[in-house]
Chains A and B, each alone.
Chain A
Amino acid sequence: MRQTGQVPILRVAGVLLVAIQVDLGDTVATALQEDVLEAIARTGSTGLLIDVTGLEMVDSFVARVLVDTGRMARLMGTETVIVGLRPEVAGTLVRMGFDVSEVQAALDIDEGLERLGCKVVRRGAD
């Protein structure tokens, strides 16, 4: 059974925003990859922001799916930034020997958007 459509893909300021709020099972992760690629094809967005703040755990399969999605998106001319990785998760991925050299990451959605060339008006000094 296809599990597409479980994770909403929003379009914000010319960028696709995928906010993952639930732990991803293998099938959902694979379906999400398809959904994202289709959305890129449909909208022609040049940026993809994957927010994983809601993920407590990222196993190697899900990590691979996310990284692969980024590479596939790049082939289609879309830049990907992952935001909100937890420190434990980042540590685990690196220790597992996961190649993260191609992954772009940012602290939060604001910075992710900036990284993708969107203009973000911040409150307060900086």
Chain B
Amino acid sequence: MRPEDAIDRLQLDEREVRRRRDYFQVTDEDLARLASHRDLATRHNDEVIEALYQFILGHPESRAFFPDAATVARVKQLQRRYFLGLFQGRCDPAYAEDRVRVGATHETIRMPARLYMGAYAVYLELIRAMFERELEPAAARAAYASAQRLVAFDMALAMDTYVAAAEDTIVRHQAAVRELSTPVIRVFDRILLLPLVGTIDTARAQQVMETLLTRVAEEQARVVIIDISGVPVVDTKVAEHMIMTTNAVRLLGAKTVVAGISPVVAKTIVQLGISLTALETRGRLQDAITLALELTGRAPAGRQA
């Protein structure tokens, strides 16, 4: 996911950043405290980042994401900037966006979240060691507590970036599936066939209905056959959708025949207590087509005495 898209999706305005800060208890004192250690951090910047990458590159799985020396040099440079970012004394939308950018970069190279989060744990440990070496125990504890809160804030943004990217993928796939999911076929003059394959949820049912109604009007159809043999589970909801679609189709002056009712589906429908008496149903598609031909006043082909 592009960093700009991630930033857009997380809607990191003044209020949202405030809300997140409140949750992670990142106070102004925390920021001021960290800012007061900026010189210390600057001095130890190289050393912390080196140690972090020693860990990352020492691990075969995470090393795979940094194929060459140039990449390593580039990400180290980014990490140094990221590290100093903790000590700038601010945590505003610009800061949050910067953090999302880092998260999006890791997501883009498809680094698994667990490796990313694991590195964070090491990172925190390095920060703690740095404070303990350089500060009085009480000051070190306070400084580390502040850093912990701010890093937790950062981690949440990184996680949300990953989640947003995953959601985006799902939405894209859903759109693709939707396009492929409503093939309305004209089998005879004024007879349409809609073979349904896959799970029918409310969103899809709605889309199916819209597409179907438009086609019925366009084709001046008199009969619509909905073949549900490819629908794995027919429950109360699916039945409800079919009844609704049938009703809407009827308002356009056409009839609906539901085909592909398997023994299992027939059993489920009756056991669930669903009444499908309002629908014309047939087991085989062939029989549904025969019925459709009869309904349109045509003798079905191949019927012999």
CA distance A85 to B222 in the complex (A): 14
With contacts A101-B278, A107-B222 taken as known, whether A87 is within 8 angstroms of B216 at the C-beta atoms is yes
With contacts A94-B248, A95-B244, A107-B220 taken as known, whether A87 is within 8 angstroms of B253 at the C-beta atoms is no
Cβ of A16 to closest chain B Cβ, rounded Å: 18
CA distance A82 to B278 in the complex (A): 20
Chain A residues at the B interface, C-beta cutoff of 8 Å:
82-83, 85-91, 93-95, 100-101, 103, 105-108, 111-112
Chain B residue at smallest Cβ distance from A93? B251
With contacts A85-B252, A107-B220, A107-B253 taken as known, whether A94 is within 8 angstroms of B214 at the C-beta atoms is no
Interface of B is mostly: helix
Query: A residues within 8 A CB of B247?
Result: 94, 100-101
Let me know if B251 and A94 touch, CB within 8 A: yes
Residue B250 at the chain A interface, CB threshold 8 Å: yes
Residue B210 at the chain A interface, CB threshold 8 Å: yes
- Pick the residue among A86, A91, A95, A111 that contacts B253 (CB under 8 A): A111
Cβ of B194 to closest chain A Cβ, rounded Å: 14
CA distance A23 to B254 in the complex (A): 24
Interface size class of B (residues with CB under 8 A): 20 to 34
Cβ of A89 to closest chain B Cβ, rounded Å: 8
Chain A residue at smallest Cβ distance from B213? A87
Chain B residues at the A interface, C-beta cutoff of 8 Å:
206, 209-210, 213-214, 216-217, 220, 222, 244-245, 247-254, 278
With contacts A94-B244, A95-B244 taken as known, whether A82 is within 8 angstroms of B220 at the C-beta atoms is no
In this complex, the member of A83, A101, A105 whose beta carbon has the largest number of chain B beta carbons within 10 angstroms is: A105
CA distance A86 to B247 in the complex (A): 14
Let me know if A107 and B244 touch, CB within 8 A: no
Cβ of B220 to closest chain A Cβ, rounded Å: 6
Let me know if A107 and B251 touch, CB within 8 A: no
CA distance A50 to B244 in the complex (A): 22
Cβ of B174 to closest chain A Cβ, rounded Å: 20
Cβ of B219 to closest chain A Cβ, rounded Å: 10
Query: A residues within 8 A CB of B249?
Result: 90
Let me know if A87 and B214 touch, CB within 8 A: yes
In this complex, the member of B213, B244, B253, B278 whose beta carbon has the largest number of chain A beta carbons within 10 angstroms is: B253
Cβ of B186 to closest chain A Cβ, rounded Å: 15
- Pick the residue among A87, A93, A94, A101 that contacts B217 (CB under 8 A): A87
